Amino acid sequence: MKILLLGGSSFLGRAYAVEALARGHRVTTFNRGRSAADLPGVESVRGERDSADDLARLVDGRRWDAVVDTSAQQPAQAALSARLLHGRADHYTFVSSVHAFADWPARVIDEGSALHPCPADTPPGRPPGNTLKAGCERAVLAGFGAGRTLVLNSGLLVGPHENGGRLPWWLERMARGGRVLAPGDPQRTMQVIDVRDFASFGLDLLTAGTAGRFVTTAPPGRLRFGEWLETCRAVAGAADTELVRVGDGQLLAEGPDQVAPWTELPFWAPDLPELAGAWLAGTARAEAAGLRCRPFAETARDTWEWLRTRGPAEDTDAAGRKGRPDAPVRQGIEPAKERRLLTPYG
């Protein structure tokens, strides 16, 4: 098949490109060339996806069997690409997010759950935050047609080349050694999916011509937070790495040492009503369609190996410039704050 990746050079787009090339597909990528270098073997087209002229240049003289859109963040972007690619491709995969559902993370969601009320014609930048993914979905469906569109509502992605910094932060923190703050209940379950498993499942559906919606993340209850931490320690920990359990109450107590869930301690989702459904997304439809998820230990090992070998190129853009404006957001708690929180524990 001939596949167009809107994106295709970093993390999820890269995983799609790797898997598609391995299966013998012909791959075109369309991106700005700033986040990372394209893989050898792809046809690379440079351009801004906000630019009608750049997209017109992309489609001029080209046609694909399928499109995979991993990069649209604004409904206007999704609408423009869907309109210009209509008639140039037979199938459109749009990678959305569980954030598009109005009830997530407070309640359990599945494919039938309501989306945020974000229209397809929402102007750029409004409303703020993750509600825009719902508008992107509506824009693609309106421009390309529901019968030829696959929407994958992604859970939280991890794995090699991760640009969100969550799993890398835990691995690098374990590698520094010493006493490590292990937050909350170790029995609390979590749902994360290896980016390679996501891309493989997405390509399976794409090649079958499947349309519709799939909540795409690991099945609920498959991994516990304590196992996550112990695995990270086993993979990357120094000889003196020690996990110190600290309860939700202390971490959430008001004051200068209050800890922000998700960011200061990545993937920590305390027992709060507003997070009650964070790790309970329904995946039965995806599992029935063939979704398979590798053990987390394999993901952790491969991610650590990438972190150890990536070299300076991962910290620059494709032109070798450091400090690019789209660099990953910093994750993790400051060392001094972590030490203060551990002080009562010996």
Residue 284 lies in a domain: no
| 308 shares a domain with 341 | yes
Phi, psi angle pair for 22, to nearest 5°: -65, -30
CB atoms within 10 A of CB 145: 13
CB neighbours of residue 289 within 10 Å: 15
Q: Is residue 62 part of a domain?
A: yes
Say yes or no: 93 and 122 in one domain: yes
How far is residue 209 CA from its own chain's centroid? Answer: 23
In this structure, are 202 and 312 located in the same domain? no
State residue 123's pLDDT score. Answer: 84
Integer Cα distance of 100 and 96 in angstroms:
7
pTM for this predicted structure: 0.93
Question: What was the pLDDT predicted at 126?
Answer: 64
Provide the CA 336 distance to its chain's centre, in angstroms: 29
15 belongs to a structural domain? yes
Give the CATH number of the domain where residue 261 resides: 3.90.25
Count of domains forming the chain: 2
288: alpha, beta or left, given left = phi > 0 and alpha = psi -120 to 50? alpha
Using an 8 Å Cβ cutoff, are 207 and 3 in contact?
no
Give the DSSP letter of residue 162.
Answer: -
- Residue-level pLDDT at 316: 39
Domain membership of residue 81 (yes or no) is: yes
Residue 180 pLDDT: 98
Q: How many residues in the chain?
A: 346
Whether residue 95 is found in the same domain as residue 177: no
- Tell me the pairing of strands 26-31 and 2-6: parallel
DSSP at 35? S
Residues 111 and 181 both lie in one domain = no
* Cα angle value 224/175/339 (rounded, 5°): 80
Indicate whether 152 belongs to any domain. Answer: yes
Closest alpha carbon to 5 in 88, 80, 66 = 66
Under 8 Å between Cβ of 138 and 239: no
In this structure, the answer to whether residues 262 and 207 fall within a common structural domain is no
Element of type H or E holding 15: helix 12-22
Using only C-alpha atoms, what is the Rg of the chain?
21
Residues 261 and 335 reside in one and the same domain: yes
Instruction: Give the pair of three-digit tokens for residue 163.
Output: 């640009």
Q: In angstroms, rounded to a whole number, what is the distance separating the alpha carbons of residues 16 and 22?
A: 10
pLDDT (tens, 9 = 90+) of the chain, 346 residues, equals 999 999 988 999 999 999 999 999 999 999 998 888 899 999 999 999 999 999 999 999 999 999 999 999 999 999 999 999 999 999 999 999 999 999 999 999 999 999 999 999 988 766 656 689 999 999 999 999 999 999 999 999 999 999 889 999 999 999 999 999 999 999 999 999 999 999 999 999 999 999 999 999 999 999 999 999 999 999 999 999 999 999 999 999 989 899 999 999 999 999 999 999 999 999 999 999 999 999 999 999 999 999 999 854 444 333 333 344 334 446 899 999 999 999 998 7
Q: What CATH number did the domain enclosing 207 receive?
A: 3.40.50.720
The reply to whether 253 and 270 lie within a common domain is yes
Q: Looking at residue 202, what is its pLDDT? A: 98
Does the residue 21 lie in any domain? yes
307 domain residue, yes or no: yes
Residue 11 and residue 110 in one domain: yes
Q: Say yes or no: 171 and 154 in one domain.
A: no
- Which amino acid is present at 226? G
Residues 197 and 228 in one domain: no
Within 10 angstroms of residue 336's Cβ, the number of other Cβ atoms is 8
Q: 146 is in which domain, residue-wise?
A: 2-158+193-216
Which of 201, 216, 231 terminates a domain? The answer is: 216
Is the domain of 114 the same as that of 212?
yes
In a domain, 292, yes or no: no
The span from the CA of 132 to the CA of 111, in Å, is: 18
